[in-house]
A = this chain, B = another copy of it.
Amino acid sequence: VVWHRADLLDAPAAAEVVAQVRAELLLHLAWDVTPGAFWTAPGNVRWVEASLALLRAFLDGGGARAVLAGTCAEYDWAALQGPCRELGTPLGPHTLYGTCKHATRLVAQALAAQRGASLAWGRIFHLYGPGEQAGRLVPSVARALLAGEPVRTSDGSQIRDFAHVRDVAAGFAALLDSDAQGPVNIATGRPVSVRAVIEAIAAATGNGELIEWGALDRVPGEPPELFADVTRMREEVGFTAGTDLAEGLRETVESWRRGG
């Protein structure tokens, strides 16, 4: 593996590296996903610009296939009925983050199609795993319980799709190696309640009595159910997210027990 370094927000610097490397494949993941801030982070407008500039540079250098990272927040959360399907569920992001992703996909797909290049767009749902930023759900619950501190949660009735970060990474790699084009959900296809996720963390830490269920209201605007149909991933890419949730959460808790 040869590593090249460039600040993708510095478009000329990024274009220079891309021109040197002349890669056949592009897998682009970088956006502003700072926990607690990313939904409204204006920096993601810069990532629209940077992502399109990167894709242009890649195609100009003869690139053949690109995979970019999208989000479940591209779907219209007010119109969800059952699992999110790439080609049937209405799109209509309610956040600046989702809007930036949606707009980038529209232009990236149109540009790639016109240039005769292949492009897929992996829509990430929820994820967890070792190394996650401490402010997010799984680490914040795991670390508090490991420290013997109380955890205030919502009622946990939200239905989500939680994928292990290793499966998400492997899913992107499989998508890059495939011929699938357009949006492809990268998720487990096994919806679960937030309560079940927290209970699995509690089982791994042994301090479940510290959880104060219902102490927090659910976040306004977040849908009661948000989960993925993974037919495209399974049938067109040939990939299934294999990690068992309880096992993955045990592993994640152990990583926090060792200090994160």
Contact = CB atoms under 8 A, between A and B. Distances in A.
Interface stretch (A107-115, A153-161, A168-176): A107-115
A40 interface: yes
Nearest to A109: B99
Nearest to A97: B110
Interface string A42-72: 1001101100110010000000000000000
Nearest to A100: B107
B42 A52 contact: no
Given A11-B11, A114-B96, A107 B52 contact: no
Given A48-B48, A52-B49, A53-B49, A42 B104 contact: no
A85 to B, nearest CB: 18
Interface residues of A, number: 23
Contacts of A29: none
A40 B114 contact: yes
Interface string A74-114: 00000000000000000000011001101110110011001
A52 B100 CA distance: 11
A99 B103 CA distance: 9
A18 to B, nearest CB: 15
A106 B103 contact: yes
A111 B45 contact: yes
Contacts of A103: 48, 102-104, 106-107
Interface string A184-196: 0000000000000
A106 B98 CA distance: 10
16 contacts: A11-B11, A11-B49, A45-B52, A45-B56, A48-B49, A48-B103, A48-B107, A49-B49, A49-B52, A96-B107, A96-B114, A99-B106, A99-B107, A100-B107, A102-B103, A103-B103
The 10 closest A-B pairs by CB, nearest first: A103-B103, A49-B49, A99-B110, A96-B110, A103-B106, A103-B107, A99-B106, A45-B52, A45-B111, A49-B52
Interface of A: 11, 40, 42, 45-46, 48-49, 52-53, 56, 95-96, 99-100, 102-104, 106-107, 110-111, 114-115
